[in-house]
Structure 1
Amino acid sequence: MKMTTKASVALSFLIALSANASDWPHWRGPDYNGISKETGWSAKWTSAPKQLWKAKVGTGFASVSVSQGRAYTTGNASDQDTVFCFDATTGAEVWKHSYAAKLDPKYYEGGPSATPTVDGDRVFTVGKRGMVHCLDAAKGTVIWSKNVAEELKASMPDWGFAGSVFIEGDLAILNIGSAGAGLDKKTGKVVWSSGTEESGYATPVPFDSGSERAVMMVIKRDVVAVKVKDGKEVWRFPWKTQYDVNAADPILFGSKVFISSGYNHGGGVFDVSSNPPKELWNNKNMRNHMNSCVIWQGHIYGVDENQLRCLDAATGEVKWTDKFSGKGSLMLADGKLIVLSDKGELAVADVSPEGFKPISRTQALGGKCWTTPVLANGKIYCRNAAGDVVCLDVSGK
């Protein structure tokens, strides 16, 4: 284990009163849907945005989480996973925490896939083999750590655990085991578990099931909803994909949910106000191999295998297709799509069912870019498989 700290930045972190409204503290953002509420950032550039900083974090596909002036991500080098904390504006390393972890490449580069989850003064991470850490967000010291998969005797999926930690109240919920597991976030003690079958690769997504809180997960061969407090099943329906690769998160909109998987499986919309959920449509028009879509004003925008696509959310009809993205990823903010292609080109376009027409483009990175870009507080963070992280200034100042 290695640890570095800087007292001054830790002190400034501790006295911060609250998280900025434009922070992005965990995977898919504050509302778990890939959409930021941030406004006032510069979407149209006359020249490439200034690179504020660049860092090397090791091989992997974890995205960046931003909270209270800090940026967090993970990577692997020399069979060690490292959790990094940077000053979000300058890129100065605040701390890092390393632990033994295999790279585990399998038809791709390997390294951690789950994104750090910041919850107040703590950061939670998940390794590919089920190692879960709870770290002090200011200093990087270990509050608790354990291999949850080993404790639960849960089988590891072929490409390792990839779902990020979801926090609800005092529970840390993981897509580990047959239908998830709930841990006491303060101690790591298992509160509930669900069996030992291989999990899916997606992150649990919260919703209200009647008067109770629940989470929805795409697991190995099903979509399942369980109660937050005890893991008891609310409903499930089958979702079988080739190689059992269910990686994209469910997306809730109103009383409906959109589910999608790659390998030519496709996607569909289901009404979750009924039990079990009622299928409204299901086709092959949106095949999310890895990254999730966003839904905006009645339309679904996402990466269909290796192309960018827009669907009518009510019918599943294709509105447009564009080759820009490859197997890239996207998010949405202030009526703009922010798309990072698999070759590292970053584009911003007005969200429209009429077509993809970028108003800004720049080559943010080289190499393979499967990791979702993040906009937070006037900065866009991008990352490639080799572990290059760049921070671009889009504040317009």
Structure 2
Amino acid sequence: MRNSTTIVSVFLTAFFLANAGSSESVGVPGNIACAEDMPSSADWNQWRGPQRDGHSLSPSWPASLSEGFSLVWEKPLGPSYSGPVTSNNLVYTTETVDKKSERVTAFDIESGEVAWTVSWEGAMAVPFFAAANGDWIRATPACNGDALVVLGMRDVLVCLDAKTGNERWRVDFPKVIGSSLPAFGAVCSPLIDGENVYVQTGGPTVKVSLTDGSVRWQSLAGGDSMMSSGAFSSPIIGEVAGQRQLLVQTRSELCGVDLQTGESLWRQPVEAFRGMNILTPTLIGNKIFTAAHSGRSQLFEVTHDDEDGWRVDELWNQKTQGYMSSPVVIKDQIYLHAKNQRFTSFDIASGHIRWTSKPFGKYCSMIVNDDQILALDSSGALNLIAHDEKSLRILDSADVAEDAWAHLAIAGDRLFVRDLAALKVFRFKKSLGE
């Protein structure tokens, strides 16, 4: 039997790195609903990019990282697992400072100069048995070009003016809605949609006014214990069975939530080791993919009609176990960095495993453009991968960080890497095919 401290450590690592999801026929973004009033698609303005699915809308990438890829600037920073986001020719990143406060800084993308910086008391110490996994800010901010929203470790959502850093409002969820303070820090990356923000707190999923921070509804409260409260995942918005809705993965269920009322439209149990449902849901047409820690990979189809209402059917399940890395989709193929640290590709229609690679790092963030993947693993190795049905085909690799648990970001010809101790900005010097 596994040592209890080891089990808790695995549990906490997953919690910390949860953030550390397309036409149906081709498996590319199509029915993932872009948030209203978001900035240019060239911006990487939120968790996993413009559509929260890892797909980049930037120009084509170079065929070689060694020849068409260079470091422009880097800035030393305190630790963070938050992925960088971009807007208004600025890149925003977070850090925890001296284990006492949280800080957000906006850098000019071209020069690396500081446009503004703001901080607040908000750090928290995690239990001693989790110290090796860090006690710094984790959630990736979201920006609509005007407002930047940041969820801190203590489950406090702060709204800043994106251009000046001036604070507009803040919501302390444990105080405002009476939810429990997440024992190991808040992890959900907020989602801006029009005049609203959606976030999974240490208690329920909530809808908050972007104008003044008022809570408009609460849903899917969950339990009160360490094994049932809070969230490891981050929501997306998409059109499913003809209705635009919030897709939420709780500790035990995959759910569709009405955006206006917070009512649960449908709920599907997903079994996982100690409730570690971590991945961001992957929407493919009316189908939703997820893979649970120590569970199974599953594809569900959601339908709706006037007579029977909402219905969820499991189309297939297979043995591949997810962990912390959310998958990406190219054409009819799902790419997943699994719990066993191997890349696995499987067919969307059948769930058949097409290939499995050798082991890589414990965590991997992936960005897709056309038929290529940029994959950054936790060791700091960046791999340029070609879409291939038969094997993992790595076109080129580069070492870009020493400790990389934050998600990659890309905007135009710039690639942003958040090392645990720095923000690094790289430039693609050549487009694919030149």
Alignment TM-score, normalising by the size of structure 2: 0.82
Would the alpha carbon gap of residues 336 and 122 (structure 1) be closer, same or farther in structure 2, given more than 3 Å must change?
Answer: same
Q: Distance in 2 between matches of 1:302 and 1:371?
A: 17
What is aligned with 2:120? 99
What is the aligned partner in structure 2 of residue 295 from structure 1? 329
Residue number in structure 2 paired with 1:68 = 88
Aligned to 1:28: 48
- Contact 2:157–2:171 (CA under 8 A) maintained in structure 1: yes
Question: Is residue 76 of structure 2 the alignment partner of residue 56 of structure 1?
Answer: yes
Distance (Å, rounded) in 1 between the aligned partners of 2:392 and 2:240 = 36
Task: Tell me the C-alpha RMSD between the 2 structures.
Answer: 2.0
Distance between the aligned counterparts of 1:168 and 1:186, measured in 2? 12
CA contact (8 A) 2:179 2:204 kept: no
Instruction: Give per-residue Cα distances to partners, 1:88-127, cap 9 Å, x unaligned.
Output: 2222111111111225442402311111100131000101
Q: Distance in 2 between matches of 1:383 and 1:266?
A: 30
Q: Within 5 A, what are the aligned runs for 1:324-343?
A: 325-327=360-362, 328-343=364-379
Quote the Cα distance in structure 1 between the aligned partners of 2:146 and 2:338.
Answer: 37
Letter in 2 for 1:72: Y
Could you tell me how far 1:21 is from its partner in structure 2? Answer: 3.2
CA shift in 2, pair 1:156/1:299, >3 Å: farther
Once the two structures are TM-superposed, the CA of residue 147 in structure 1 deviates from its matched residue by: 0.9
Classify the secondary structure of the residue corresponding to 1:150: helix
Instruction: Give, in angstroms, the shift of residue 177 of structure 1.
Output: 5.4
Q: Offset of 1:351 from its aligned partner?
A: 1.4
In 2, Cα distance between equivalents of 1:169 and 1:23:
17
One-letter amino acid of the structure 1 residue matched with residue 249 of structure 2: V
Amino acid at match of 2:110: T
Aligned to 1:269: 299
Matched residue type, 1:188: G
| Partner amino acid, structure 2, of 1:278 | D
The change in CA–CA distance for 1:345 and 1:211 in structure 2 (over 3 A counts) is closer
Looking at structure 2, the residues matched to 251 and 158 of structure 1 have their Cα atoms a distance apart, in angstroms, of 27
- Mean CA deviation greater in 249-258 or 28-37: 28-37
Indicate if the aligned counterparts of 2:182 and 2:202 stay in contact, CA closer than 8 A.
Answer: no
Distance in structure 2 (CA, Å) of the matches to 1:83 and 1:19:
20
1:193 paired residue number:
218
1:361 to 364, 374, 397: 397
How has the CA–CA distance of structure 1 residues 323 and 210 changed in structure 2, closer, same or farther, with 3 Å as cutoff?
closer
Residues 139, 149 of structure 1: alpha-carbon distance in 2 compared, 3 angstrom cutoff: same
Q: Contact 1:271–1:277 at 8 Å: present in 2 too?
A: yes
CA distance in 1 between counterparts of 2:242 and 2:391 reads 40
Residues 337, 47 of structure 1: alpha-carbon distance in 2 compared, 3 angstrom cutoff = same
Secondary structure at the residue paired with 2:303? coil
Match in the other structure for 1:221: 252
Who is 1:283 aligned against?
318
How is 1:380-391 mapped onto 2 (pairs within 5 angstroms)? Answer: 380-384=415-419, 386-391=420-425
Q: Deviations over 1:303-343 (max 9, x none)?
A: 10112221112222221222353222212112111011211
> Paired residue for 1:315?
350
Residue-by-residue CA offset, 1:199-225 (whole Å, 9 max, x unaligned): 222111112255543101111211111
* Counterpart residue type for residue 135 of structure 1: L
- Distance, in Å, in 1 between the alignment partners of 2:184 and 2:68 is 36
| Structure possessing the higher relative contact order (Cα contacts under 8 Å, 6 or more residues apart) | 2
Identify if the C-alpha distance between structure 1 residues 109 and 178 changes in structure 2 by more than 3 Å, giving closer, same or farther.
closer
In the superposition, the TM-score normalised over structure 1's length comes to 0.89
Give me the whole-angstrom Cα distance separating, in 1, the residues matched to 2:40 and 2:193: 20
* Partner secondary structure for residue 176 of structure 2: helix
Q: Which residue of 2 aligns with 1:375?
A: 410
Please show how residues 209-248 of structure 1 align to structure 2 within 5 Å: 209=240, 212-248=243-279
CA contact (8 A) 1:134 1:143 kept: yes
Task: Tell me how far 1:299 sits from its aligned partner.
Answer: 0.8
Tell me the matched-pair count: 376
Aligned-partner Cα distance in 1 for 2:352–2:60: 33
Of 305-314 and 294-303, deviating more is 305-314
The verdict on how the C-alpha distance between 1:303 and 1:210 changes in structure 2, with shifts beyond 3 A counting, is closer
